[in-house]
Amino acid sequence: MWKAEDFCDPDTGFDYVFTKMNAIYGAMFANHWRDVDPMMSRQVWKDACDRGLTYRPKMDYALRYIDPERPPSALAFAKLLNEGPVIPDKPNTQIERQKTQAELAEDKRRGDLARAQLREMLAGMRMPKFNLTQTNVGIGDRGMQAYEEAKKRGRT
């Protein structure tokens, strides 16, 4: 399941991993990186670990399985990240555009105009009269008479 709090940017992920490993290995960890340019180290780890440094459950998995005797290399840690949980896809959020008040008013105006034109057009036509039965079936006058007679005889 996708949860926003499980995700971070690669720099935050790198800091998270190195802070945890510093706590795990102590002085041995600091000595391990003593002669290495910190910016070069950061970039190599970010390149090797890629998206793994953006998903906290994946980082936690890798930290759980690191060698307790010595700090891992960037490639060894990347391998552990790849064995960890799959990074879930972010769900697509559908945003529906809401009509403005002006658009709603224009829709109402067009609907009112169309209904007025339809009433005007129908007024000039001779349409047969329909009645609705109790079952909402539309029938003409003769059909309504037959329906009423059948109803009196108890056949409906």
Give the pLDDT score at 153.
Answer: 81
- What is the tens place of the pLDDT at every residue in 2-27? 788 999 999 999 999 999 999 999 88
Domain ranges in the chain are: 4-83, 96-125, 128-156
- What is the tens place of the pLDDT at every residue in 113-142? 988 888 888 777 766 655 555 555 556 666
Q: Tell me which DSSP letter residue 85 carries.
A: P
Instruction: Report the predicted TM-score, pTM, of the whole model to 2 decimal places.
Output: 0.57
User: What is the helix (H) or strand (E) element at residue 11, kind and residue range?
Assistant: helix 10-25
SS3 95: coil
